[in-house]
Structure 1
């Protein structure tokens, strides 16, 4: 369900920039605008985290301060809410076992609701029956109550999910060029370089000295890459058209796929067209109008009808007009 919600949230974000009647070239431009806005918002959030510190408002100042230094701003607000919920809990039972201690907590004005937390002092790990840490990745209020009972001054490493920390991105290894597919096109390389230099441009634009230094380095690097590109272009032109790699820019034509439906005998896809047949002799190569057999048979029928004697036609008693009666050559007038 969480993966489906993530996809639906991304669709809702892109619906701000796209609609059903957008053209293909407009879609590419709007898609780049959406990604640029996401990068700018992310860079702005990271700058706010690095250059500011949240206000501490709970009595557990040591845990709250450590969470502010450890988590991102949004995760810290969720952790702060769990600290406020901890004020309603009280210890109902504390059991000391061989290798761990078990705490059972109740809630103020709701003593029937209880939660059990197991605390292992050897490796400073906790396990709560509510399973909020396993679901969301942040310590629940019951774990925070155990931290307060055990007089812990900071959050244990076992209760910290690395992806929610402020340094979570730096821990991730960026894929090297050898790990990327060898058929990477110029468009994909352009997108990767744009993403890399976008963050640098954001930070360099805040100070005059940084701006001048970044612009000078960018100008030198651009001149160097431009000379290399010109040399490769001249070398490919001298080597011939066969050695020039195909360039793929922008959006290409979509792949041709089979039509939907039954691919059995009723489908006409992939079959040669049926030849036209004559409606009389069922032969291939002509139609009924040009059929010789039909012409010869009609001639024979005409000759047979001329040799046959005329037959007398009986008069219709209901016919009074003589002009309506058939007249034959051998009949007397």
Structure 2
């Protein structure tokens, strides 16, 4: 929905229910820039909603804890929940690295390129956009020397149009639906242009690093930890070491020799820092 469409539909709803002088409706309208999706399309939220973090965490933890648990039982159950998260993440990484998805879309060259870039969960999301590309219909095309402008609609919604611009010089694609800007993933309209242009690999601007297999790679150089509260600093160091430790363990379990060497070093460092 565009800003103009939002304003038109808001006015229509207010008029239909005679809410022109309703205090709450007026108050919400003044805050439209903070909640109306039409005004937030350019803002990156990674598909998250305002209550998503609270609701999803509560739903997950309710599988492990109950309100009558003693404190030591609560701590033990939280540890179980964290181990389950880490196990699931390791399993996903294993599947991403050692499995090959079965091709399901009509854009098979793009679909083959997709798992080389994205982890399995992200790949499934992107592949869904490829499947939905089949409903996109090209209405008008205007081509220039270094750019092409496509006007597209979709089957079932002929009155709604989107503008997709393909910069031929930079191989850069932008869509007026702004899913790339707000979610960080390519939309079905972009894939339609790739199909029309016979492009068999997903352009770099459609592959944000945060969603790729390389997202967890980080600079191993030591960073300066600011002088903050001791407890906060300790938690920050623990989190950084845990992330590095998990990555080392994942690689060390690939063969027996690496596993044994890692175990020896872990025991040696443990004895060193316990002193």
TM over 0.5: yes
User: How far, CA to CA, are the matches of 1:191 and 1:86 in structure 2?
Assistant: 41
Distance 1:105 1:191, change over 3 A: closer
Distance 1:190 1:6, change over 3 A: closer
Q: Specify the alignment match of 1:23 in structure 2.
A: 70
Q: 1:81 aligns with which of 83, 104, 128?
A: 128
Q: Specify the alignment match of 1:179 in structure 2.
A: 225
Summarize deviations over 1:280-299 as a string: whole Å, max 9, x none. xxxxxxxxxxxxxxxxxxxx
| Secondary structure of the corresponding residue to residue 213 of structure 2 | coil
User: How far, CA to CA, are the matches of 1:138 and 1:70 in structure 2?
Assistant: 12
Q: How far did 1:106 drift?
A: 3.0
Q: Specify the alignment match of 2:260 in structure 1.
A: 212
User: How far, CA to CA, are the matches of 1:161 and 1:191 in structure 2?
Assistant: 25
Distance 1:111 1:134, change over 3 A: same
Distance 1:49 1:12, change over 3 A: same
Greater mean alpha carbon deviation, residues 30-39 or residues 197-206: 197-206
Q: Gaps spanning 5+ residues in structure 1: where?
A: 230-333
Q: How far did 1:64 drift?
A: 1.0
State yes or no: 1:37 paired with 2:91.
Answer: no
Distance 1:19 1:151, change over 3 A: same
- TM-score by structure 1 length? 0.60
Kindly report which structure 2 residues correspond to 1:122-271, keeping only aligned pairs within 5 A, or say none: 122-170=169-217, 172-173=218-219, 176=222, 178-179=224-225, 181=227, 183-185=229-231, 188=235, 193-205=241-253, 207-226=255-274, 229=275
User: How far, CA to CA, are the matches of 2:171 and 2:99 in structure 1?
Assistant: 31
| Secondary structure of the corresponding residue to residue 161 of structure 2 | strand
Greater fraction of residues in helix: 2
Q: Which has the higher contact order (CA 8 A, sep 6+)?
A: 2
Summarize deviations over 1:251-306 as a string: whole Å, max 9, x none. xxxxxxxxxxxxxxxxxxxxxxxxxxxxxxxxxxxxxxxxxxxxxxxxxxxxxxxx
- TM-score by structure 2 length? 0.71
RMSD of aligned C-alpha atoms?
Answer: 2.7
Summarize deviations over 1:116-169 as a string: whole Å, max 9, x none. 212221222222122222222111111111111122121111111211111111
Q: How far did 1:193 drift?
A: 4.1
How many equivalent pairs are there?
226
Q: Specify the alignment match of 1:63 in structure 2.
A: 110
Distance 1:18 1:174, change over 3 A: farther
Structure showing greater Rg: 1
Distance 1:214 1:159, change over 3 A: same
Distance 1:69 1:202, change over 3 A: closer
